[in-house]
Structure 1
Amino acid sequence: MKCLFASNANQHRLRGVTSGPMTVRPSGRRATDTTRSRPFRRDEMLQRLRAGTFDVLVIGGGITGAGVALDAAVRGLRVALVERDDFASGTSSRSSKLVHGGLRYLQNGDVRLVYEALHERQRLLRNAPHLVDVLPFMIPVLTRDGVISKKVAKTLGSAMWMYDLTGGWRIGKRHRKLSADTAFSHLPTMHRDRVAGGFLYYDASADDARLTLTIARTAAARGAVVANRCRVVDLTEDGRDGRVDGAVVDTGDGEIVVRASVVVNATGVWADEVRSMEHADASPSIRPAKGVHVTVPWERVRNDIAVVIPVPKHKRSLFLVPAGPRGDGTFRHAYVGTTDTDHAGSLDEPQCDAADLEYVLSALNHTIADRPAADTGTGHASTAGTSTDQTVPRPPITPDDVTGVWAGLRPLVAASSSGRTADLSRNHQVTVSDRGVVTVAGGKLTTYRKMAEDTVDEVLRQLGRSPRRLRRLLTRHLGRSTTRRVRLLGATSDRGDVGTREGHLRHRYGTEADELLAMIAVDPTLGDPLVPGQPHMRAEAVFAVQHEMATTLVDVLERRTRVHHFDRAAAEAAAHDVAELLADHLGWDADEIQRQVSAYQALCERERTAAVTVPIGDAQPAGSTSDEVVTT
């Protein structure tokens, strides 16, 4: 850690609450709606980063760091956030994309976590209605080899009531039991003779990367300085007391020093790397757990809602989630996951290996019948195949059918004793080092806002102010967090039909869809597909560069759109065309276009290679560290 204290250091340190009056931006109740964004250009952000001094510097541009930046900005603090790669480039773009309470946590007795998550789910549905959708889930009751057997169905019914009472009812619908015919109609490719019924309950889903980006942009709209591709290479210290007072940041064009009264480490699985900048011998605090998801063509499964499917020979389950709605009740894709295993490899690019793929596909093939079901006479004729002839087999789903994969790392707080990653708590933890760095670790996507609230409360304590006292003595916004009422950028419930051009854009951009529609009106070619067969338009790539700080081809194909995760082959085939479109707005020449395409092709090749590689020393199937009856 560097000491950059000099004779004029007092001029570099903030006039923050630790040494003087804090700058307070007036903010009233009407400010809870963020409908217009400030410029979100990287060059402008870097200029402000170089020139400014801050109350808090947030390291990490995942959903936790973005949430901390938003909470602090709303309270009136001067905030900077730096992300070493792209926003949501780590765990926050590689989750199950669910906004949920977690039924299994209730089974484990963690009522407080479920209560908190269900309340946060409702706040997200209210504050980001353009990004978060109610998602029905079905747990089939099967006669054999199922997640739930007829014998334990009564017990699950009690758990469902508890889930509703804990807060699940707030979504507007309670759980209910399903008949065998109704359960089968939701996944008509199941073994019909094994279906005895089911349970239906409700949670929510969201595009995790877009949610993270929108939170970061909302923080910027509230005055935060937010920049990607800014790597923290060292921490700086106050030469008088040894407390950390900033960071040395590599912006790609050189190093700058960013000064802040408090530094927040919100880097997820990389938290220990930042901690080692303070103390080289810092003991590990994070235990990364890998979760893998696999995408297949929806026509192979034909589920119209999310389904909890069993894993053969393991008391465990996976989610089968439809994705890419066409607007007519059908979908483009379905994804299956997640595994839960220790990860000892690279934190930067975890991969789905052959064991992971076999584990997920075996579970899927265990659930999907090898022959299409005939009409049951109940009006629920199978739509799973082109024929209902029982003599026509349905081939198993193989790696050749997989259209995309992603692997993410959960930043679980390490326990004092070893054990399964699935047993580690999903609660978050906020700690303060002896040099004043605030670290937030653990948690889950759904509870990001509460994690941020607790973190900024600790920041205020480090600044010498109690949240309660500030609420009384200064202003409402410098006291307790008010983000539970802050609607994210573009928030609207008026989204229309997702199957139309306008509906597609409003489901992704909310009120900002008007800007994309205006772009298309000026240049109709921007309404053409970005990638053939996918709903994304060329205007979305241009908007990503102009308004969302996308700077690479990977940014656009993997995170601003999700084409890479759902149809990698189509994205790779269109990579050069997309790069040429971006070049017009990023100033790339022919050599840079080729570099961008080659970098994306290399990413695709690494994923393909990993999927046929058996990990050395893999003694058990991927995902077998958990034996919950229901994993949600």
Structure 2
Amino acid sequence: MNPFNRATAIARLKEESFDTIVIGAGMTGAGVALDASQRGLKTALIEASDIASGTSSKSSKMVHGGLRYLQQREFRLVYENLRERQRLLKNAPHLVRILPFLIPLFGKTGAVSKAVTKGYASALRLYDLTGGWRIGRRYQKVTKAQALGHLPTLNVERLVAGFLYFDARGDDARIAMTIARTAADAFDAAVANYVRAVGFTYADNGEVNGVQVRDEITGESWTVATRSVVNATGVWVEEVTELGEHKSETVVTPAKGVHVSVPKHRLPADVAAVLAVPGDRRSIFVVPFEEAEFTFIGTTDTPFDGDINNPLCTPEDITYLLNAVNASTSSNLTTADITGVWAGLRPLLAPRDGKKVSERTSDLSRRHSVTVTKDRMIHVTGGKWTTYREMAEDTVTELLVQLQQSGFVGTINLRLFGAPRRGEPMPVVEGVDKHLFERFGTARKHITDMIEANPSLAEVAIEGLPYLKAEFIYSARDEMAVTLTDLLARRTRAHIQDARTTLRAAASIAALVGPTMGWDAAQQDKEVASYRQLVELEFSAAGLTI
């Protein structure tokens, strides 16, 4: 039996008690569940929506140290980021891969400022010394022709040369799901999405001893007994804290980040690029998708005081991103080129000592914090998804102190679900097998077996995108997808790559997975309508048409 099964986990939540319940199945919460269960704690992980449905599926998809943090003199943060980047490359080689980054240098009359060149060279040298070298490649200067070879639409008249440095990338939502699955598969954690924490129960000494939960699919409510609770809900951390018997302080500042996708032929690139934003002290990234002929652009970084359950891309966000790209390239992108949008909220640590939040949330620290409230609930906030493992280790170390237990940290070298065993050579794969390996790793055999039994499942499900029909059935069966949107927006990246085409294929995909999901025709129609509502909401808010 697949231990990563929602029905099985819910049955356990009704019948068993736990050493700890982790609330929030984003990257951090999944990491905490994996660390806790690996250290011997009987662990449950619950999520009010889908796994990684919040910030953890709305990032820039990069596993990186953060070159710009050197400008803020966050040397230790960069070191930690780069150390954790390397661990992810080793522990999830099927999901995380090296990504070169191009920094184009522009100037007038064929020359670039020596000070600018020296500044970049010094920063990149320091980046390598801080830990960038671990990836096996050091930064290098490239010629104008080499820069154009990587991003052909760069402004030829002003381009002089460039620098190339190396970081990594990965599918954030798939990595978070894989971390949660590893906790369930390898260490018997009970993992359930669409289970919302609605309250807590307490022992006579005031310490939390239960979580009141509600199944968001059936509406059923019950209480799960536990010795401890970890609040890993990101920007929702204060909402969960206030479910308890005390008022929360402001501990996070939500910062909105927006990305857009365009067809690759309109913005061709075979590496990521860092482009300066005119009139702002920031840069944006241009990143090619690995598996599809699209390029994405991002991100914005602005304070957010709206509904944290529904951050949206606005026309102003799009103007900001397109203007930045068009200032450095000849692509002349317009809103008509946009095929996908996504907006997420970073849970940045709020300023201390009465300081106010400026318009530049990009200046706020990306560090994390682990605190314990009087009910002995543990709250982990802030951080970056690159350092999820370190955040989880710090959280569980504090958790074990509270529980007066000990346990060996084993996640440093722990391979995630689907990774080849340590010491085994990486398989040489091409074509469809490469696509499947880079999404499922060794578990791709389940998909190839399905195709062998029914060759029609090797057909792509969405025109212009690489996802096979068999992938959707596998995700519906084995990856805890509950809704059609789970499949289109998180088990695959179809929604953020080309939402219009994905919407046109939604009915056929609902019919394809219907028997596996137990959906009759009426439920299939509801699933398609729900996905259509999401696309219409996101596109209309951004000033785009479907």
Shorter-chain-normalised TM-score: which range? over 0.9
In the TM superposition, 1:236-385 aligns within 5 A as 236-238=201-203, 240-252=204-216, 253=218, 254-279=220-245, 281-325=247-291, 332-369=293-330
Point out where structure 2 has 5 or more consecutive residues left out of the alignment.
Answer: none
Matched, 1:404 2:340: yes
Structure 2 residue aligned with 1:17: none
Q: Which of 528, 533, 545 is the matching residue for 2:476?
A: 545
CA distance in 1, matches of 2:157, 2:115: 17
Structure 2 residue aligned with 1:530: 461
- 1:324 is displaced (CA, Å) by 3.4
- 1:246 is displaced (CA, Å) by 1.8
Structure 2 residue aligned with 1:427: 367
CA distance in 2, matches of 1:74, 1:287: 31
- 1:283 is displaced (CA, Å) by 2.4
Matched, 1:162 2:162: no
In the TM superposition, 1:32-43 aligns within 5 A as 38-43=2-7
Structure 1 residue aligned with 2:379: 439
Matched, 1:200 2:164: yes
Matched, 1:482 2:410: yes
SS at match of 1:308: strand
SS at match of 1:550: coil
Q: Which of 87, 104, 115 is the matching residue for 1:140?
A: 104
- 1:304 is displaced (CA, Å) by 1.1
Structure 2 residue aligned with 1:564: 495
8 Å contact kept, 1:82–1:226: yes
| Distance change in 2, residues 1:205/1:145 (3 Å) | farther
1:167-216 CA-to-partner distances (Å, cap 9, x unmatched) read: 10000000011122212221110111211111110000000000000000
Structure 2 residue aligned with 1:517: 448
In the TM superposition, 1:67-82 aligns within 5 A as 67-82=31-46
- 1:577 is displaced (CA, Å) by 0.3
| Distance change in 2, residues 1:409/1:187 (3 Å) | same
- 1:496 is displaced (CA, Å) by 3.7
8 Å contact kept, 2:65–2:79: yes
CA distance in 2, matches of 1:599, 1:183: 43
- 1:422 is displaced (CA, Å) by 1.2
CA distance in 1, matches of 2:480, 2:321: 35
Q: Which amino acid aligns with 1:357?
A: I
TM-score, normalized by length of structure 2? 0.95
- 1:430 is displaced (CA, Å) by 0.2
User: Over alpha carbons, which structure has the higher Rg?
Assistant: 1
8 Å contact kept, 1:215–1:489: yes
8 Å contact kept, 1:134–1:203: yes
1:50-85 CA-to-partner distances (Å, cap 9, x unmatched) read: 111111100001000000000011111100010000
SS at match of 1:178: strand
| Distance change in 2, residues 1:495/1:342 (3 Å) | farther
TM-score, normalized by length of structure 1? 0.82
| Distance change in 2, residues 1:563/1:144 (3 Å) | farther
CA distance in 2, matches of 1:448, 1:279: 29
1:592-626 CA-to-partner distances (Å, cap 9, x unmatched) read: 1111110000000001110129xxxxxxxxxxxxx
| Distance change in 2, residues 1:532/1:111 (3 Å) | same
Structure 2 residue aligned with 1:618: none
8 Å contact kept, 1:130–1:495: no
8 Å contact kept, 1:59–1:82: yes
- 1:271 is displaced (CA, Å) by 0.3
8 Å contact kept, 1:496–1:506: no
1:81-131 CA-to-partner distances (Å, cap 9, x unmatched) read: 100000000000000000000111112111110110100000000000000
Matched, 1:113 2:70: no
| Distance change in 2, residues 1:150/1:604 (3 Å) | farther
- 1:280 is displaced (CA, Å) by 5.3
CA distance in 2, matches of 1:410, 1:313: 23
- 1:585 is displaced (CA, Å) by 0.9
Structure 2 residue aligned with 1:379: none
8 Å contact kept, 1:55–1:262: yes
CA distance in 1, matches of 2:311, 2:471: 27
Structure 2 residue aligned with 1:28: none
1:26-50 CA-to-partner distances (Å, cap 9, x unmatched) read: xxxxxxxxxxx94322111111111
- 1:247 is displaced (CA, Å) by 0.7
Matched, 1:230 2:170: no
Q: Which of 374, 396, 400 is the matching residue for 1:460?
A: 400
Q: Which amino acid aligns with 2:335?
A: P
Q: Which of 19, 32, 42 is the matching residue for 1:55?
A: 19
CA distance in 1, matches of 2:194, 2:156: 51
Root-mean-square deviation (Å): 1.6
8 Å contact kept, 1:292–1:356: yes
| Distance change in 2, residues 1:204/1:573 (3 Å) | same
Structure 2 residue aligned with 1:374: none
Structure 2 residue aligned with 1:501: 432
Matched, 1:591 2:522: yes
- 1:277 is displaced (CA, Å) by 1.2
Report the number of matched residues. Answer: 532
Point out where structure 1 has 5 or more consecutive residues left out of the alignment.
Answer: 1-36, 326-330, 371-395, 471-477, 614-632
User: Which moved further from structure 2: 489-498 or 260-269?
Assistant: 489-498
SS at match of 2:157: helix
CA distance in 2, matches of 1:225, 1:149: 57
CA distance in 2, matches of 1:403, 1:171: 33
Q: Which of 575, 595, 602 is the matching residue for 2:533?
A: 602
8 Å contact kept, 2:2–2:478: no
Q: Which amino acid aligns with 1:268?
A: G
1:136-194 CA-to-partner distances (Å, cap 9, x unmatched) read: 00111110599x85431112211111111111000000001112221222111011121
| Distance change in 2, residues 1:145/1:255 (3 Å) | farther
Q: Which of 450, 467, 471 is the matching residue for 2:390?
A: 450
8 Å contact kept, 1:61–1:81: yes
Q: Which amino acid aligns with 1:296?
A: V
- 1:315 is displaced (CA, Å) by 2.5
SS at match of 2:100: strand
| Distance change in 2, residues 1:198/1:43 (3 Å) | same
Q: Which of 562, 577, 586 is the matching residue for 2:508?
A: 577
SS at match of 1:158: helix
Q: Which amino acid aligns with 2:121?
A: G
Structure 2 residue aligned with 1:32: none
8 Å contact kept, 1:495–1:507: no
Q: Which amino acid aligns with 1:482?
A: G
CA distance in 2, matches of 1:141, 1:368: 12
SS at match of 1:455: helix
| Distance change in 2, residues 1:323/1:495 (3 Å) | farther
| Distance change in 2, residues 1:411/1:144 (3 Å) | farther
